Amino acid sequence: MNSLTQDIKTLLNLAWPVVISRVGILTLGITDTVMVGRYASEHLAYLGIGMVPSNIYILIMIGLLMGTSVLVSNRFGAGQYEKTGEVLWHALPWGFAIGLIGFLFCYFGEFWLLLTGQDAELANKGGHISIIAGLSLPLAAVHMTTGFFLEGIRNPRPGMVIMIAANIINIFANYFLVYGVYGFPELGAEGSIWATFIVRCMQVVAILSYVWFFIDHEKFGLRKPKITWRGGTELRRIGYASGISMGLENGAFNALVLFAGFLGTAVVAAHVIMINVFAVFFMMGLGFGVATAVSVGNANGAGDMQQVSRWAWLGLSLQSIIMIIAGLLMWLTAQSTGEFFSNDPAVYSLAAAMIAWVSMSLVFDTGQSLMAMALRARGDTWAPTFIHFLAYGVVMIPLAYVLIFPLGRGAMGLADSVILGTFVPFMLVMLRYLQLDRRALKTQTA
């Protein structure tokens, strides 16, 4: 019992700063949504549709950089501290290059939106949003990469402090640029995205300064960078699988925004509110996922397969308990949450109904994310990708279309598809982890 209590304490100590950091990422978006939603409903629709290209790409980018977290946690667990810095040096230029490609993708945002059949005016306004959002992707990549390094060496608190400061700055920047007060231009939805750019500049300067001035360069191998293409092979190999996996997941969720676009601006606005609220609670669970994956990675690096199994199931159990409580809270506060985000009765009433219904999928979505990260941390790179292809590409997107249009569920069909589309990967990743646990047990007893 003492061992279990100590493991729970260890996991919680690592998890709570990561929870705050991950929730902080979403509260940046929440601030944008609230400020723009209260400015004008049509601008909220421009924001929601315009963020689709960058939202699709940013999770692909996170996946491509996931090798940083996996390799750093493995090296740290094995006691090879000097090799953790080597991973970071290879990851930083790789991340920046990925961010630049993301900017090029977002530059043609209007084209992608028109290609999906969106209204010409909505696509045009959204295209301007997409370009501005793309500008900050290289900055986001550098910040994420460095944050993954710090989490991998079990030092997540600097990232938490930086994220708290970023949210405070973002509130003021949004107020100035969305509404045009104190002599600043009134930019509406575009102003909120310029505020995000300013915040990401600050985050990059802050986190790189911390690593430069407060991390032991000698211990973690940061003093002499050795950057070669071959040296980053394993980093990229893990990243390719994770990037495809996260791209499939995020692409499916953003496809729902496009489906919402066919139902009108009020449905788009309501769906944006629902997704933002869901994402905040999801990020709480994701914090436990990151903490669990780091612990699994440390144990895997040390070659302790019993702990590899123990950390994953302990992390999932703690996360599930918290997400059941969070889902209940999300359901109880659905109406007041909808009203908080919008002054338009047509928007907030629909958003409240969608929030209440989708709350039951919190356990599924956070659980599948945790177990997928734990699989990658133990070296099982491609299985989560295949599972996500089945769950999102084969099940969720076609199911959403059928529910929304032929079956006539309309806006509520968006919530239906989230529930069903997250349950499938939740079950499959758990079965995969159990399979690997049985194999490891047979190997040890052979």
pLDDT of 328 over the 80 cut: yes
Calculate the alpha carbon distances from 427 to 82, 233, 354, 363, 420 in Å.
38, 31, 24, 11, 11
pLDDT of residue 444: 67
Write down the H helix ranges in 136-264. 137-152, 157-179, 189-214, 233-261
pLDDT of 7 over the 70 cut: yes
Angle at 400 between CA 339 and CA 362, to 5 degrees: 55
**CA pair distance 153, 296, nearest whole angstrom:** 13
Calculate the alpha carbon distances from 57 to 16, 92, 141, 172 in Å.
27, 18, 11, 27
DSSP designation for 343:
S
Q: Which of 180-184, 209-213, 221-225, 296-300 has the lowest mean pLDDT?
A: 221-225
pLDDT tens-place string over residues 368-381: 999 999 999 998 98
CB 443 within 8 A of CB 433: no
Angle at 440 between CA 427 and CA 386, to 5 degrees: 40
CA dihedral in degrees (423, 425, 427, 429; nearest 10)? -150
**CA pair distance 276, 173, nearest whole angstrom:** 20
pLDDT tens-place string over residues 108-122: 988 988 887 877 888
CB atoms within 10 A of CB 120: 10
CB atoms within 10 A of CB 324: 13
Calculate the alpha carbon distances from 81 to 34, 78, 189, 231, 372 in Å.
43, 8, 45, 17, 25
Give exposure, 207-234, as e/b (b: 16+ Cβ within 10 Å).
beebbeeebeeeebbbeeeeeeeeebee
pLDDT of residue 119: 79
Please give the structure tokens belonging to residue 116: 């999906």
pLDDT tens-place string over residues 149-177: 999 999 999 999 999 999 999 999 999 99
The confidence band for 182, taking pLDDT boundaries of 50, 70 and 90, is confident
pLDDT tens-place string over residues 201-240: 999 999 999 999 999 988 998 887 778 888 888 999 988 8
pLDDT of residue 446: 57
Q: Mind giving me the DSSP string for 155-172?
A: --HHHHHHHHHHHHHHHH
Stated length of the chain? 446
The confidence band for 42, taking pLDDT boundaries of 50, 70 and 90, is confident
pLDDT of 125 over the 80 cut: yes
**CA pair distance 227, 138, nearest whole angstrom:** 19
**CA pair distance 48, 21, nearest whole angstrom:** 23
C-alpha closest to that of 59 among 276, 262, 248, 260: 248
pLDDT of 425 over the 60 cut: yes
pLDDT of 251 over the 80 cut: no
C-alpha closest to that of 337 among 384, 398, 272, 283: 272
CB 164 within 8 A of CB 199: no
Q: What is the torsional sign of CA 14, 31, 273, 147?
A: negative
Helix (H, G, I), strand (E, B) or coil at 406: coil
DSSP designation for 382:
S
C-alpha closest to that of 193 among 125, 96, 250: 125
Tell me the pTM: 0.82
Residues 6+ apart with CB under 8 A from 134: 53, 54, 102, 103, 104, 105, 106, 107, 109
**CA pair distance 322, 334, nearest whole angstrom:** 18
